[in-house]
Structure 1
Amino acid sequence: MQIAALGVLLLLYVATVVHALHPIVIKGNKLFDSVTKNQFFIKGVAYQPRDGHVVRKDNFIADPLADASACARDASLMQKLGMNVVRVYEVDPSKDHDQCMKSFADAGIYLLLDIATPKFSINRKSPEYDTRLYEAYRKTVDAFSKYDNMLAFIAGNEVTNDKTNTQASAYVKAAIRDMKKYIKSTKKRYIPIGYASNDDEFIRDAIKDYFVCGEEDEQADFFGVNMYEWCGDSSYEKSGYKDRTKEFESYHRPVFLSEYGCNLVTPREFSDVEVLYGSQMTDVWSGGVVYEWTQENNNYGLVKIANGKAELMQDYTNLQKALAKASPKGVNMDAYNDQRQAPQCPEHTQNWKAATTLPPTPSSGACSCMRDTLSCTASDQVSNTVTSGGGHSNSSVLGDQIDVLCGMVTCDDISGDGEKGHYGAFSFCSGTEKLSWLYNLYMEKNKGGRCEFNGNAEVTTPKRKDVKTCADIQANVDSTNDGSSGDSKSAAVSWLQPSSFISWGLLMTGVMVLTGR
């Protein structure tokens, strides 16, 4: 009986291993299944329902990965469609995502997740990367790193979208640098993080190199392109796919279509799918993400949701047929040893002006230290006017006060310049902390003045005097340690270590043979 019971338990265990998704790893410019060693091609769909039962509330689009019933319904349909990846643009990290992530895992689907949202993102027109964003990004990473089917994070989506705002890319790249360090130092397995760009003709060449150039710990792990060049009855040559492929042929990081599916001609036939997963593109591209799952006002939907039920549209049927014919031929990870060099960082031109010197890592400790040295600070009257979004751009009082004071005293210590690569010691602090710095600076310059500013400032007693040391306080890696990093994993090959139960299962070679794995 004991032997029989043990046998049953072993079979149950094997079933668990069989259905677990293997972590995906990056080697060179390709993605691989870490266990089978087969090359992995993304067959994905964008998933961010906005109408019907999902509505915008408090600057959040309702989290699609917190709706268990919808996930179960959609994961099954995506599996039948032939998908293995779902891209989600916005989540609420405070919610429970276990059931949704399980539904997608059971359907063999990985998650590609944007960590920047409309509420927490870098503004391309007036870019800042502050403590508020740093904490928000870490919360999202914390919430999803535990899932085996977590494929990768995207730190920004079309932040720089033309030649007028290229300096914003320096701030996004700084976020990539910091999240790479955070993941390596605090998580059991490394999860890649990269960037998704638009396809602007004036900046496409510079931006693809910018995000993967420079120091290893600053490079994006992958690069996505939102590309809508293939419309209707087109071809590899006519669409522009051939030109884009040639531009990436020596790229040393994985690149994929982070969005595709032009809808200028409907219903969409998806004739580009055969080419995307064919021999002309698979040596360069790692697949793509179709835009998008649900039918919205922009008319890109594969399914229409009504009363909790999904109606399949013609686009769904056409894509299903196209994907059924797609059988990309990859390479084996162990046999792949293509050594490629990172590109040189693009120089400043008329169209590209992002600095290679990146903003510092936001440190709430440095900001608190700075504020503790001040004798004139922003009052509650200012704090109470700041919206939940944070930052002085969301408060007319904050913005007006800072603009006025910057005409009276230097703002170098609280400002940043993503073009010149100059960043003040407290450029990442909150709007009220920056305003407090300026109030105090003004009072030091005008000894006879009063710390009042129409009630927006108040006299405080400094708790310390060593303001010069405040800028040296580094951000904690996590909330439980002192900022010291743990063991670092090599970024040259971004290994996503299998979970412990899979690792243990791999040692049971006899069992693995029996299951045909």
Structure 2
Amino acid sequence: MSRTFSLILAILLLYATFVSAVQNVKVQGADFVNSVTSNRLQIIGVAYQPGGSAGFQEGSGIDPLSNGTLCLRDAALMQQLGVNTIRIYNLDPKINHDLCVSIFNAVGIYMLIDVNSPLPNQSLDPGNLEGSYSSDYLNHIFSVVEAFKGYPNTLGFFGGNENMNTVGTGGTVPPYLRAVTRDLKNYIAKNSPRTIPVGYSAADVAEILTDSWAYLSCNINGQANDPSRSDFFGLNSYTWCGPTSPTANYQASGYDTLLSTFGDTSIPVFFSEYGCNKVEPRVFDEVPVLYGNMTSFMSGGLVYEYYEETSNNFGLVSFYSNDTAQLLIDYDNLQKQFNTLNIKALQSMNSSATSIQSPKCSTSLISSSGFNNSFNLPSIPSGAQTLIDHGISNPNQGKLVTVTDTAVTLPVYSSGGTLLKNLAIKPLPNDESNTPGGTSTSSGASPSTSKKGAAGRIEVSLGGAVGTAFIMGYFFL
């Protein structure tokens, strides 16, 4: 056997052990922590909902993680941006997500999954809480767990999103949110090979924000492992609005008040959405603050949003009817901010945060008179306990597959209109999540002098087959 062949064989055998790019993440006190390396995970993320609300059509075989060709392109651009987490809002648990999830896993990107959808019987209805909290509803959210529990890059599940968005809903919804969290966590404990965190994404309603967090993060009766307690708390916040805005600093944006609200949090708190666009283009000058002096009590955030939906001006990337894509100035500006972050410092453990214990639930935790202060939760709906004990019928259980094609075949243009060449994902070894500053757009994807053709902007279509270029088996050079 030649020395060269032996070296090649050794390299192949080495890479053959790299089954997944990320390790499971656990909640430890107020931090997300890598279960193997013990590094702290600060969420550096984006909201990912291709096609907007139209991108989810039950029964169509289409959702944000159904098209491997699009996921490959987006993963390559997100890897260059420095993203380590995406949030996906509406997913069909019946269809196959293996290729898309495997692509994001390969580049070290975690997923936060919303279990609800806007369809009937697939979310809590604040106007009909008792009726919507049903066995059919639980069967749906459990099916989402089944579809994503097998992926190592599933960071967590959102059990609710902005269910409390008025003072009035703060008086009625909280016990049902804790009941849904309880049912999800009990299902995961019985039917998943690992613990997966479950949390809530809150609306930024000042009158009830502190009470929402306090209500969801305490332990009923002082139970050490109360399943109804949220494992994390996300906040959808758009108060910091750019350098020429009157709210473009730590005090005026209200970021300073978050310290007084969450400074003693016993669970991870992060921005589940941020990125005000009242001043355009966005320069994201809140990023150094979020990942600077706020890391003592915040676990990062998710920029809203990756895809530019029709005329909403929140996107980082635009898409056209001829399947081309173009980076926006917001993408460039966000990448510059991410590239300034001190990743080693962000990964350092905060011993005081990881050792904080949750308080016992009591009426004294609730400060406003109209907010619900009862911790008597609704009983699980009839028949639903059987689902928890034995699992749902015929679940679609996702699993990692290997990715052999790494090169992006769809045309992507820079914000200046030049074609990016050699755009590709770069699979990472075990234990690694993606980090900013590794490969910039200019070096990782070479610009070409070709210009994009004229094309009207529309919501991208997610139809079509995944493509024959993707087969099982990791690809390494």
2:389 maps to 1:477? yes
CA distance in 1, matches of 2:156, 2:168: 29
CA distance in 1, matches of 2:60, 2:161: 17
Counterpart of 1:364 (choices 372, 376, 383) is 383
Report matched runs for 1:48-67 at 5 Å.
48-50=49-51, 55=55, 57=57, 62-67=62-67
Residue 470 of structure 2 is matched in structure 1 by: none
CA distance in 1, matches of 2:347, 2:71: 33
Q: Check whether the contact 2:165–2:203 (CA below 8 A) recurs between aligned residues.
A: yes
Residue 239 of structure 1 is matched in structure 2 by: 253
Residue 256 of structure 1 is matched in structure 2 by: 270
Change over 3 Å in CA distance of 1:61–1:275 after alignment to 2: farther
TM normalised by structure 1 equals: 0.67
Residue 384 of structure 1 is matched in structure 2 by: none
Give the drift of 1:49.
Answer: 1.9
Residue 140 of structure 1 is matched in structure 2 by: 144
SS class of match (1:237): coil
Residue 43 of structure 1 is matched in structure 2 by: 44
Give the drift of 1:186.
Answer: 1.3
Residue 212 of structure 2 is matched in structure 1 by: 207
Q: Check whether the contact 1:31–1:40 (CA below 8 A) recurs between aligned residues.
A: yes
Q: Check whether the contact 2:56–2:63 (CA below 8 A) recurs between aligned residues.
A: no
TM normalised by structure 2 equals: 0.73
CA distance in 2, matches of 1:2, 1:478: 55
Report matched runs for 1:210-229 at 5 Å.
210-215=215-220, 216-229=226-239
CA distance in 2, matches of 1:189, 1:2: 44
CA distance in 2, matches of 1:76, 1:230: 28
Q: Deviations over 1:405-458 (max 9, x none)?
A: xxxxxxxxxxxxxxxxxxxxxxxxxxxxxxxxxxxxxxxxxxxxxxxxxxxxxx
Q: Deviations over 1:462-497 (max 9, x none)?
A: xxxxxxxxxxx765423379xxxxxxxxxxxxxxxx
Residue 122 of structure 1 is matched in structure 2 by: 124
CA distance in 2, matches of 1:59, 1:268: 37
Give the drift of 1:124.
Answer: 1.6
The structure having more radius of gyration, on CA atoms, is 1
Q: Deviations over 1:88-139 (max 9, x none)?
A: 0010011110110011112211111000111110012221310011000110
- The one-letter amino acid paired with 1:267 is P
SS class of match (2:217): coil
CA distance in 1, matches of 2:8, 2:351: 38
Root-mean-square deviation over aligned CA pairs: 2.8
Q: Check whether the contact 2:242–2:279 (CA below 8 A) recurs between aligned residues.
A: yes
Give the drift of 1:241.
Answer: 0.6
Change over 3 Å in CA distance of 1:275–1:332 after alignment to 2: closer
Residue 181 of structure 1 is matched in structure 2 by: 186
Q: Check whether the contact 1:362–1:475 (CA below 8 A) recurs between aligned residues.
A: no
2:352 maps to 1:338? no
Q: Deviations over 1:27-68 (max 9, x none)?
A: 11011122222111100100112269x555459894110111
- The one-letter amino acid paired with 1:213 is C
Q: Deviations over 1:283-339 (max 9, x none)?
A: 111100000011113221111011222210111111010111122524655966533
The total of aligned residue pairs comes to 375
- The one-letter amino acid paired with 1:189 is R
CA distance in 2, matches of 1:322, 1:6: 44
CA distance in 2, matches of 1:476, 1:208: 27
Counterpart of 1:282 (choices 263, 287, 295) is 295
Structure 1: gaps spanning 5 or more residues: 366-472, 482-500, 504-517
Give the drift of 1:2.
Answer: 13
CA distance in 1, matches of 2:216, 2:50: 29
Report matched runs for 1:310-325 at 5 Å.
310-325=325-340
CA distance in 2, matches of 1:320, 1:265: 18
- The one-letter amino acid paired with 2:323 is G
CA distance in 1, matches of 2:347, 2:44: 17
Report matched runs for 1:447-458 at 5 Å.
none
CA distance in 2, matches of 1:263, 1:61: 33
Percent identical across equivalent pairs?
Answer: 35
Higher normalized contact order (CA 8 Å, seq sep 6+, divided by chain length): 2
Q: Check whether the contact 1:168–1:354 (CA below 8 A) recurs between aligned residues.
A: no
Higher helix fraction (1 or 2): 1
Q: Check whether the contact 1:363–1:476 (CA below 8 A) recurs between aligned residues.
A: no
SS class of match (1:242): helix
Report matched runs for 1:345-494 at 5 Å.
345=362, 346-347=365-366, 349-353=368-372, 355-364=374-383, 475-479=387-391
Give the drift of 1:194.
Answer: 0.4
CA distance in 2, matches of 1:113, 1:282: 23
SS class of match (1:362): coil
